[in-house]
Every structure is written in structure tokens, then in C-alpha cells.
């Protein structure tokens, strides 16, 4: 099954040899989003809560470009440089998703691109 790239100027451009998302059939694999402002390409100011909010906004924009929404997400991966910020990120995620919630993994990592504190990726299934 061929893959079709998805892109939008409403989310940051890829900063490497990858697509913002790739669709194969009804499944869309969304690349990781960090808190880059799509207009400037710079990391947003503020702590992990502000970064999580911007990253989820970027993810939402890529979902829309694929013809879906966050309601179509079946799995998310959360990556934090400090699991001590889990409660803050969890609260922000609660602003973007409603029950039934997608499956999720949360992983602490040593570093993220551009010095970000948070990254999110997802899998979307379209009807």
C-alpha cells in the first residue's frame, strides 16, 4: 500500500527527512510535534505547560490536514524530558481529548529537538 505524505503550513515544517504525517489506507501516522510556532519556527516561550499546549495545537493542525481531528486519534505517544512534569502535561492533554480517550504511552527521554521539554506523536484512523 503506498504512503501519501500530509503537510500543512498550520504546523511547523519538518526539520529533517520526514513528513508531518503519512497516510496508508485509512491510517495516518503523525510525526512528533514539539512546541514550535509554525509562523516563526521558534520554540514557544514558557514552561512545559505552554510547550504541551503548542505541541497539541500543531498535532491538531496536522490531523485537520489529513481530513480528521483529534477525535480520530487512536494512540498518542508523549515524550518528556522530566517525568516530574507529567501532571501538567496530563492536564493539558485533557483539554484536547475527550472520552473515549486514545491509548497512550508516556516516556521520559534525555533530550528532544531544539531543547524542547515535550513532544507528542499520534496515530489517526479515518472512517
Q: How far apart are CA 46 and CA 27, in angstroms?
A: 33
pTM (2 d.p.): 0.96
Residue 15 has pLDDT above 90, yes or no: no
CATH number of 4-125: 3.30.1330.40
Least Cα distance to 125 among 23, 12, 20, 7 occurs for: 23
Res. 4: pLDDT tops 80: yes
Q: Binning pLDDT at 50, 70 and 90, where does residue 39 land?
A: very high
Domain spans, the chain: 4-125
Mean pLDDT of 36-44: 96
Write down the number of H helices and E strands in the chain: 2, 6
What is the Cα Rg of the chain in Å? 14
First to last CA, the chain: 17
> Quick one: pLDDT band at residue 1, thresholds 50, 70, 90?
confident
Amino acid at each position: 500500500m503506498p504512503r501519501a505524505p500530509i503537510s500543512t503550513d498550520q504546523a511547523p515544517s519538518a526539520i529533517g527527512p520526514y513528513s508531518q504525517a503519512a497516510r496508508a489506507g485509512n491510517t495516518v501516522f503523525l510525526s512528533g510535534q514539539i512546541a514550535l510556532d509554525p509562523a516563526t519556527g521558534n520554540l514557544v516561550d514558557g514552561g512545559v505547560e505552554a510547550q504541551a499546549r503548542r505541541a497539541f495545537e500543531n498535532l491538531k493542525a496536522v490531523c485537520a490536514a489529513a481530513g480528521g481531528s483529534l477525535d480520530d486519534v487512536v494512540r498518542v505517544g508523549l515524550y518528556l524530558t522530566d517525568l516530574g512534569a507529567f501532571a501538567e502535561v496530563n492536564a493539558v492533554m485533557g483539554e484536547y481529548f475527550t472520552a473515549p480517550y486514545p491509548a497512550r504511552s508516556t516516556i521520559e527521554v534525555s533530550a528532544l529537538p531544539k531543547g524542547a521539554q515535550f513532544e507528542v506523536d499520534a496515530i489517526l484512523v479515518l472512517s
